[in-house]
Structure 1
Amino acid sequence: MTQPKLYRLVGADGSTVASPTPGTLGGHRKTRVYGRLDCKAARRALGTGRSYEQQRVFFADEATAVTAGYRPCASCLPEAYAQWKAKGGK
């Protein structure tokens, strides 16, 4: 019997959790920004070298990313970013 593939996701408390379901959002641990997996800004950054890739994290959903202390990407999530900024995000 084969084991199901497990994906490493970041949980609401910031710890890494194993999940049989891949993440729906990607993020960057150092800048604490999350966004869509097809984000143009993230793809550009991934193309610049391994340092970005090593800081890449994944989330099951937006609520988990926010609870873990990440903010929305201004490039791929402009509405969520505007709301975050209006609430005093820095």
Structure 2
Amino acid sequence: MNGKTYTLLGPGPRAYESAVPGRLGGHRGSRVYGRLDCPAALRAIAKGGYAEHRVFFADEATAVATGYRPCGSCLPEEHRAWKGAQR
């Protein structure tokens, strides 16, 4: 390992340090999570302001347990399932 640590969001929600980077990113304000290469998130980051509200998750189960919903852009199947469960 390179000794670098990453701050991830876990259940609670509580931040914790990890030697492994998060696999998913989220937005604290909208409570949406998605892939790190999500086109919608990357556009928002490029416009500025988004990064200060960004959080990271180790996995999808943790993001869901923390109260985040899947992104409709980069996780369309997961988003459809989430939306169907809301009805």
- Look up the SS of the partner of 2:50 in the other structure: helix
1:54-65 to 2 correspondences below 5 Å: 54-65=52-63
The match for 1:15 is 14
Aligned length: 87
In structure 2, what is the Cα distance between the partners aligned to 1:77 and 1:6? Answer: 27
Matched residue of 1:82: which SS?
helix
* TM-score between both structures, scaled by the size of structure 2: 0.95
Task: Please give the root-mean-square deviation of Cα atoms over the aligned residues, in Å.
Answer: 1.5
Among the aligned pairs, what percent are the same residue?
A: 57
Q: What is the TM-score with the length of structure 1 in the denominator?
A: 0.92
Gaps of 5+ in 2: none
The answer to whether 1:24 aligns with 2:23 is yes
Match of 2:86 among 77, 84, 88: 88
Q: Which amino acid aligns with 2:47?
A: T
Give ranges in structure 1 of 5+ residues lacking alignment: none
Q: CA deviation at 1:85?
A: 0.2
Moved over 6 A (4+): none
